[in-house]
């Protein structure tokens, strides 16, 4: 790769690694795994850098696919973390902490695909069509999974 392309990639990685980390953390619930996931994603993006038209969309798809393939290889589930990175919240740190813990516990109960749907739809604020494209699902499947996962999260948080 030439110097210009390398510099472009480095600028992209610096600008978007925080966004990718937040998405990775929301998916896996562990800061160390999230860092590993982002690092692996950026390595994959770097290899294909010259052929990528939309780097952020491609990196999000790569992150999701890497996460989903890692989940298939693992037999144990993640444990929720008490802290969510860089989130807006209330002025009361105890309320923030409790809400983050409840959210992470609820997400941990979902299947990896349902969790990915909720993260993309509601944390990343993607449309149904964009979520469907990134996950390789139909828009109807995204809507069904969203509804089912939200119901499961609501029921789980009431316990």
Question: DSSP per residue over 104-151, as a string?
Answer: HHHHHTS-HHHHHHHIIIIIS---HHHHHHHHT--HHHHHHHHHHHHH
Residue 50 is given by DSSP the state G
Instruction: Give dist(CA 38, CA 43) in Å, integer.
Output: 9
What is the architecture, at CATH level 2, of domain 1-78? Answer: Orthogonal Bundle (1.10)
- Specify the pLDDT at position 159: 55
Q: pLDDT tens digit string along 33-73? A: 999 999 999 999 999 999 999 999 999 999 988 988 876 55
91 vs 47: CA distance, rounded Å: 43
Please tell me the predicted confidence (pLDDT) of residue 80.
52
In whole angstroms, what is the distance from residue 73 CA to residue 154 CA? 29
Q: Which sequence spans correspond to the domains of the chain?
A: 1-78, 91-159
- DSSP assignment letter at 2: -
Domain 91-159 = CATH 1.10.10.10? yes
* CA dist., res. 146 & res. 3, Å (int): 43
In 3-state terms the chain splits into helix, strand, coil percentages (rounded to 5) of 75, 0, 25
- What are 68-126's pLDDT values in tens digits? 887 655 544 445 555 555 544 445 555 566 767 777 777 888 898 998 898 888 888 88
Say what the pTM is.
0.57
The average pLDDT across 12-33 equals 91
């Amino acid at each position: 790769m030439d110097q210009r392309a390398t510099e472009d990639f480095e600028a992209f990685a610096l600008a978007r690694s925080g966004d990718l980390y937040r998405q990775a953390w929301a998916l896996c619930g562990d800061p160390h795994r999230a860092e590993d996931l982002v690092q692996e994603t950026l390595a994959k993006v770097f290899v294909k850098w010259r052929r990528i038209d939309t780097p952020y969309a491609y990196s999000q798809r790569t992150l999701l696919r890497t996460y989903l393939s890692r989940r298939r290889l693992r037999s144990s589930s993640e444990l929720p973390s008490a802290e969510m990175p860089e989130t807006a919240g209330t002025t009361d740190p105890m309320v923030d902490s409790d809400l983050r813990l409840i959210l992470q516990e609820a997400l941990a109960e979902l299947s990896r695909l349902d969790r990915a749907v909720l993260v993309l739809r509601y944390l990343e604020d993607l449309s149904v069509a964009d979520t469907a494209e990134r996950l390789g699902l139909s828009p109807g499947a995204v809507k069904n999974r969203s509804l089912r996962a939200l119901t499961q999260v609501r029921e789980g948080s009431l316990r």
